[in-house]
Structure 1
Amino acid sequence: MKQGRAEAYYRTEHADGRPILTSGDVDSFIDDLLGGSDSENMAELHSLDRPLLASGFPDHEFLVGVDKELQVGVLSFMDETGNLVSLGDTEGRGSVSYFIVENGTEFPDRSEIPISLVRQAVKEFLTSGGQRPTFIQWQEPEIW
């Protein structure tokens, strides 16, 4: 199993230096998100194992959101193939918003999945070198 690395941004203080995550950090990372405020309940991850675009920016983005009250979360993966969000297998609660440092992103109905699957997806993202996790279902968001 590959020990991938990713930069994370989910707290105000990360503007001055983003923490680096490995697969061994995933549980504490998710626990930190769960323990944070509702205005900082989502993270933006960029794999350090993928090449940068000619512009110097990452060629992808992986968003990871958590809801501590309901113990569910959302995922979004964007790269050159398009934008996808997680697809839960139960009826959702309508569109929901998650926040990176008070900046909200709205997710479509049925995008929330159990926290255990969020943890597993982040581990797969890291160990695959920054690829979209394959064991969950994905949907194309109509609102993006």
Structure 2
Amino acid sequence: MSSGKVQAYYRHEHGDNPVVLQGPADVDTLIDDLLASDPSENMAALHSLERPLMPAGVPDHELLVGADGDLQVGVLGFMDDGNFVSFNPAKDRGETSYAIMGSATEFPSASEIPIALVREAVKEFMSSGGKRPTCVEWQEPEYW
């Protein structure tokens, strides 16, 4: 395990070769890449290298990070012992969709947050060893 490192999957070529984020500048590069991406690749799946793997050899958690360059907003989804989605009742344009490698995920209403808060949350995820960020309000979605 490596201190503060996070694996990111968000392009087809990352399926077998994930990007490794090692500090705040790498997080900013990731978010900038997502903001500039086509809607079919505007989300990333992140796994902390500080958390243990489950017996099957897969991570016990996941942070989904989506970014919409046109609106300068994003979404977060966090899974470990439960499923959580970012919550922002002030910004509700209904259900939204973000995609990793062409595979879309629907996010519930009021889940988009300002892009600056997305950046802060991913940096907190990295520095906390893969814990759910506390700088964001969360909701438990009805489906997922």
Q: Under TM normalisation by the shorter chain, which class is it?
A: over 0.9
Runs of 4+ in structure 1 over 2 Å off: none
> Could you tell me which residue of structure 1 aligns to residue 17 of structure 2?
17
> Could you tell me which residue of structure 1 aligns to residue 114 of structure 2?
114
Residues in 2 aligned to 1:17 and 1:124: alpha-carbon distance in whole angstroms: 24
5 Å-filtered alignment, 1:47-86, equals 47-80=48-81, 82-86=82-86
Equivalent pair of 2:6/2:20 in contact (CA under 8 Å): yes
> Could you tell me which residue of structure 2 aligns to residue 7 of structure 1?
7
Letter in 2 for 1:8: A
Deviates more, 1:106-115 or 1:91-100: 91-100
Letter in 2 for 1:133: P
Residues in 2 aligned to 1:23 and 1:89: alpha-carbon distance in whole angstroms: 30
Equivalent pair of 2:91/2:112 in contact (CA under 8 Å): no
Name the SS of the counterpart of 1:131 in structure 2: coil
Query: Deviation per CA, 1:72-128, whole angstroms, max 9, x where unpaired?
Result: 000000002x00000014140110000001100000000000000000000000000
Name the SS of the counterpart of 2:18 in structure 1: coil
Residues in 1 aligned to 2:17 and 2:136: alpha-carbon distance in whole angstroms: 31
Residues in 1 aligned to 2:79 and 2:16: alpha-carbon distance in whole angstroms: 24
Residue identity over aligned pairs, in percent, reads 60
Task: Indicate the RMSD between aligned Cα atoms, in angstroms.
Answer: 1.0
> Could you tell me which residue of structure 1 aligns to residue 124 of structure 2?
124
* Contiguous gaps of at least 5 residues in structure 1: none
Instruction: Determine whether 1:46 maps to 2:47.
Output: yes
Q: CA deviation at 1:47?
A: 0.4
> Could you tell me which residue of structure 2 aligns to residue 102 of structure 1?
102
If the length of structure 2 is used for normalisation, what is the TM-score? 0.94
Residues in 1 aligned to 2:141 and 2:22: alpha-carbon distance in whole angstroms: 28
Name the SS of the counterpart of 1:16 in structure 2: coil
Deviates more, 1:100-109 or 1:89-98: 89-98
Letter in 1 for 2:115: I
Deviates more, 1:24-33 or 1:103-112: 24-33
Equivalent pair of 2:73/2:112 in contact (CA under 8 Å): yes
